[in-house]
C-alpha cells in the first residue's frame, strides 16, 4: 500500500536515491506557520499553489468563552496576528480564531474532507501522522521543509523503510485505540519505529471506527515512525461523504475507483513486521517521562526503571499505579478530543462527580465537535460532573508559558506526551485514554474504567 501511495507521487528520481515527491496538501498553524510564510516572503518566492494550502489557529489560542486574539501565552498574540496577515497576503485558506470551522489541525482537516485517501499531506507539526488513518501519506516536517513544499509543491525525499504492525483478535471491553498504540510503544520502545512508514493492519484495526484509527495513527510519531497509515475502506469513504473539500458526484466516483486500490496486496513484504494480540491489551497509563514508560492499569512501575524518570514523576519502582492520587484531569488534544472520545468519557461521567480538589477540563478538538457534543447534551454531563467545558484548541496538551496546572500537579491526560515539563514546569503527566481520565477524575486517583462500569 505504501508503494502505491509513494509511486503515484514520484515527480523525478535524482542522484543519490533522492526523489521529488509531489505534495497534495499543506497545513500550517500559528505556532510554526508564520515562520515558514515570513521566511518564504523574505526570499521573494511565491507559494506554488495557494489553493491547496490551509492554515488554522489552534496551538496557543485561548480556550475560554468569548475569546479573541488575546491569549494567555505571554507574547502569544503576535503569533496569531502575524500568522493571520501572512496567510491573507499569501492567499491561503485560513480557519481563524473565531471561525466556526476552527479547531485542532488534525481534527479540522479530516472533518472538512481536506485529507483524502491516497493524497500526500504535510504540516510543520509532528502529529500530522494522525491523518494517515485515511490511507493518506501524511507526516510532520520542520519549518524549512514546509517552506520548501510551499515554494515548489514537492519535497526531496529518500524512500523510507516500511513496517507492518498487525493487531489480531478483538479488544476487551473498555480497551481503545489509545491503549493499542501505547502498548506498541511500551513493548517496542519510543524509537521502535525508526523512521519507517508503519501500516497498521489486522482485524482489530479494520474493526476500529475512523476516529479510533486517527487516535492509533496519531502516536506513530511517538514511536519515531515517519508516519502511520491504515488502508482505506468503506468506513473511510462513508466518513468523507459530503465533507466540504472531499470530491462529490462524478469526481467522487472517479476518486473511489482509485481509492479502492489502496491496500496492501497479498504477498507484499515489509522491512519489519510486528504482530500484537489485541486481546492481551489492557487500558494503559504512563508511569514515567516517555510514552514508552507505559503499563497496563493493573500493573506496577517496573522494578528496574530509569531513576531520572522516577525522580521527576515522583513514583517508586514496583509501585502500583492504580490508586495514585491525582490533582487534575484533562480531556483534549489531537489524540483524543473527537466526538466519540467525548461520548465515551461522558458515559462514565453521567450522574457522577469529579473528586473534590481535582481540577478537570474538557477541550473539544474542534468547534464542530463542540457543537455536535452540545447537541447531544454532552456539555451538560461534563459540567454537571465538575469538568470545565472549553472552546476548541490544543490547550493544555503543552505549556507555552500561559495556562497550566498548579506547580507540581499530577495530571491524568488524554494527550500524547508525558515528557518532563510538557504540560508545565514540574507537572507530572500520565497519558491514558479518555475513559481512564474520566474514571480517574471521579475517583481522585488513577483508576480502571472497567471497574466503574460494573
Partner 1 sequence: MTPFTVLTSVAAPLLRDNVDTDAIIPSREMKSTGKTGLSAGLFAPWRYLSAGSRNPDPSFVLNQPRYAEAHILLGGDNFGCGSSREHAVWALAEYGIRAIIAPSFAPIFAGNCIRNGVLPVVLDRESVAAIAAANQPVTIDLAQQHVEIGSQRWSFAIGAEAKAMLLEGLDGIELTLKHRERIAAFQRADRLARPWIYFSTQS
Residues numbered 204-243 forming contacts with partner 1, rule: CB under 8 A: 221-222, 224-226
Instruction: Tell me the window of 33-41, 168-176, 371-379, 430-438 that interacts with partner 1 (CB under 8 A).
Output: 33-41
Residue of 151, 185, 377 whose CA lies nearest to 294: 185
**Looking at beta carbons only, is 43 or 454 nearer to partner 1?**
43
Instruction: Tell me the window of 136-144, 261-269, 343-351, 431-439 that interacts with partner 1 (CB under 8 A).
Output: 136-144
Q: Looking at 5, 34, 181, 208, which residue binds partner 1 (CB under 8 A)?
A: 34
Q: Which segments of 305-446 does DSSP mark as H helices, in order?
A: 307-313, 339-349, 367-375, 378-385, 434-443
Residue 202 makes contact with partner 1 by CB under 8 A: no
Residue 420 makes contact with partner 1 by CB under 8 A: yes
Alpha carbon distance 106, 130 (integer Å): 6
Supply angle C-alpha 343, 337, 346, rounded to 5.
25
Report how far apart, in Å, the C-alpha atoms of 447 and of each of 197, 281, 351, 433 are. 34, 16, 18, 11
Residues numbered 326-365 forming contacts with partner 1, rule: CB under 8 A: none
Sequence-ordered list of residues with C-beta below 8 angstroms from that of 48, at least 6 positions apart, any chain: 150, 151, 152, 153
**Beta strands of 174-233 (E only): which ranges?**
197-201, 227-229
Torsion of CA 253, 257, 259, 261, to 10 degrees: 170
Q: Looking at 94, 255, 321, 349, which residue binds partner 1 (CB under 8 A)?
A: 255
Q: How far is the CB of 282 from partner 1 (least distance, A)?
A: 23
**Looking at beta carbons only, is 110 or 140 nearer to partner 1?**
140
**Looking at beta carbons only, is 73 or 373 nearer to partner 1?**
73
Residue of 309, 334, 453, 312 whose CA lies nearest to 392: 334
Q: How far is the CB of 404 from partner 1 (least distance, A)?
A: 9
Residue 44 makes contact with partner 1 by CB under 8 A: no
Instruction: Tell me the window of 112-120, 208-216, 350-358, 445-453 that interacts with partner 1 (CB under 8 A).
Output: 112-120
Q: Looking at 6, 330, 387, 398, which residue binds partner 1 (CB under 8 A)?
A: 398
In DSSP terms, 93 is beta-bridged to 54
Instruction: Tell me the window of 171-179, 251-259, 263-271, 374-382 that interacts with partner 1 (CB under 8 A).
Output: 251-259
Cβ(283)–Cβ(174) below 8 Å: yes
Amino acid at each position: 500500500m505504501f508503494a502505491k501511495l509513494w509511486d503515484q507521487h514520484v515527480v523525478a528520481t535524482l542522484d543519490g536515491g533522492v526523489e521529488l515527491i509531489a505534495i497534495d496538501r499543506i497545513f500550517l498553524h500559528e505556532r510554526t506557520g508564520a515562520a515558514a510564510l515570513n521566511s518564504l516572503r523574505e526570499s521573494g518566492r511565491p507559494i506554488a499553489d495557494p489553493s491547496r494550502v490551509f492554515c488554522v489557529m489552534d496551538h496557543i489560542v485561548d480556550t475560554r468563552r468569548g475569546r479573541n486574539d488575546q491569549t494567555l501565552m505571554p507574547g502569544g498574540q503576535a503569533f496569531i496576528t502575524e500568522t493571520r496577515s501572512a496567510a491573507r497576503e499569501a492567499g491561503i485558506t485560513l480557519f481563524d480564531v473565531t471561525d466556526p470551522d476552527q479547531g485542532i489541525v488534525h481534527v479540522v482537516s479530516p472533518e472538512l474532507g481536506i485529507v483524502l485517501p491516497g493524497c500526500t499531506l504535510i504540516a510543520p507539526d509532528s502529529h500530522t501522522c494522525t491523518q494517515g488513518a485515511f490511507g493518506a501519506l501524511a507526516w510532520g516536517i520542520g519549518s524549512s521543509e514546509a517552506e520548501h513544499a510551499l515554494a515548489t509543491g514537492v519535497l526531496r525525499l529518500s524512500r523510507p523503510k516500511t513496517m507492518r504492525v498487525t493487531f489480531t483478535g478483538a479488544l476487551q471491553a473498555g480497551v481503545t485505540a489509545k491503549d493499542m498504540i501505547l502498548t506498541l510503544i511500551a513493548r517496542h520502545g519510543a524509537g521502535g519505529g525508526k523512521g519507517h512508514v508503519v501500516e497498521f493492519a489486522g482485524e482489530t484495526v479494520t474493526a476500529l471506527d475512523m476516529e479510533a484509527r486517527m487516535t492509533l495513527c496519531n502516536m506513530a510519531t511517538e514511536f519515531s515512525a515517519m508516519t502511520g497509515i491504515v488502508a482505506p475502506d468503506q468506513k473511510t469513504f462513508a466518513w468523507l461523504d459530503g465533507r466540504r473539500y472531499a470530491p462529490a458526484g462524478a469526481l467522487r466516483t472517479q476518486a473511489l475507483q482509485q481509492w479502492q486500490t489502496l491496500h496492501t496486496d497479498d504477498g507484499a513484504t515489509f522491512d519489519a513486521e510486528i504482530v500484537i494480540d489485541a486481546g492481551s491489551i489492557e487500558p494503559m497509563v504512563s508511569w514515567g517521562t516517555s510514552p514508552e514508560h507505559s503499563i497496563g492499569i493493573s500493573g506496577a512501575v517496573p522494578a528496574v526503571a530509569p531513576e531520572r524518570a522516577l525522580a521527576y514523576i515522583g513514583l517508586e519502582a514496583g509501585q502500583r499505579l492504580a490508586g495514585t492520587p491525582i490533582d487534575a484531569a484533562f480531556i483534549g488534544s489531537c489524540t483524543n478530543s473527537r466526538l466519540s472520545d467525548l461520548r465515551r468519557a461522558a458515559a462514565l461521567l453521567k450522574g457522577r462527580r469529579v473528586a473534590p480538589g481535582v481540577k478537570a477540563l474538557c477541550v473539544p478538538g474542534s468547534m464542530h465537535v463542540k457543537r455536535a457534543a452540545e447537541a447531544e447534551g454532552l456539555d451538560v454531563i461534563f459540567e454537571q460532573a465538575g469538568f470545565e467545558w472549553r472552546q476548541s484548541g490544543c490547550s493544555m496538551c503543552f505549556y507555552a508559558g500561559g495556562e497550566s496546572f498548579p506547580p507540581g500537579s499530577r495530571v491524568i491526560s488524554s494527550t500524547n506526551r508525558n515528557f518532563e515539563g510538557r504540560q508545565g514546569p514540574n507537572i507530572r503527566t500520565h497519558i491514558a485514554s479518555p475513559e481512564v481520565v474520566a474514571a480517574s477524575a471521579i475517583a481522585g486517583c488513577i483508576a480502571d474504567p472497567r471497574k466503574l462500569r460494573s
